[in-house]
Structure 1
Amino acid sequence: MNPAQAVERSSTRLYRDCLRLVDHIASKSPKGQQLRLILRTEFKKNMGETDPVKIEALKGGAIRGLSNYLVHESGSNDPQLKKRMEAVKTHALADLKQRQQERDGKR
C-alpha cells in the first residue's frame, strides 16, 4: 500500500469514527444533527486535499474539535469542571486582551 492510499484509508476511518462518536454522544438530537452536518461539511470541503502534512493537521483538528465538545458537554453536568472551565476561559480572555493591547501599543 502506498502512502497516499494509507492516508486516504486513515481519513476514511477517522470520518466513520467521528460519525459513530457523534451518534454516541448526541444521537438523534438537534445537537447531533448539527454536529453531523458540520462534520460532513468539513470533510467534503477538504476531500481534494493531497498534501499529507495538511491532511494530518486537518485530522488533528477534527479530533481536537470533538474532544473539546466532549469536555464542554461534561462540564455542563459537573459543577467542579464547569467552575474550572470558567476560570480557564477568564484567564484566556485576559491573556488575549493583554496581547491585543501590547500589539496596539507597538503600532
Structure 2
Amino acid sequence: MCQPVVATFKKSTVHIYRDCIRLARYIGDMNGHAKNMSKQVRIVFRTNQFEIDPKKIEEQKTDAVRFLTNFMQHEAERMARSQKKAASESTQTPRTRSTLD
C-alpha cells in the first residue's frame, strides 16, 4: 500500500536556530536593527523550547525553513535586479549635446 509522503527536515532545531540568527543579523545589518531582530528570533525559539508534540515541532521547523528560503529567494531576485540595472547603466553611452555650428 502507498503511504503518504511526509516532509521531514534533516536539519536539527539547533541548525535552524543558528540559520535564523544569522539571517536576522544579516537583515538587521542592512537596516540597523540587528540586535532587535536577533532578539525576536531568540524569543520565538525560547517560547517554544518545551514543545513536545512532534507534529507541532515539525510544523514550526517547516515554518522556519520556509522563512529562510523565502528570504533567500527574495534577496537573490533583488540582487539580480540591481546587477541588471548596473549592467544596463554601464552599457549606455552618455548623450552628447548636438550643436548647431
TM-score normalised according to structure 2 size = 0.52
* Change in CA separation of 1:32 and 1:75 when aligned onto 2, cut-off 3 Å: farther
- Aligned-CA RMSD value: 2.6
Aligned equivalents of 2:63 and 2:48: distance in 1? 12
Aligned equivalents of 2:73 and 2:16: distance in 1? 20
Aligned equivalents of 2:71 and 2:33: distance in 1? 11
Q: Structure 2 stretches of 5 or more lacking a match?
A: 1-11, 83-101
Equivalenced residues, count = 70
Shift of 1:63: 0.9
**Cα deviation code 1:58-77 (max 9, x no counterpart):** 01101111211122222223
Q: Structure 1 stretches of 5 or more lacking a match?
A: 1-9, 81-107
Which structure's CA Rg is the greater one? 2
Answer whether contact 2:16 2:61 (CA < 8 A) is retained: yes
Aligned equivalents of 1:36 and 1:50: distance in 2? 24
* Change in CA separation of 1:31 and 1:69 when aligned onto 2, cut-off 3 Å: farther
Aligned equivalents of 1:61 and 1:45: distance in 2? 15
Percent identity reads 33
Aligned equivalents of 2:36 and 2:68: distance in 1? 13
Which one scores higher on RCO, CA 8 angstroms, separation ≥ 6? 2
Partner of 2:46: 44
Partner of 1:72: 74
* Change in CA separation of 1:38 and 1:26 when aligned onto 2, cut-off 3 Å: same
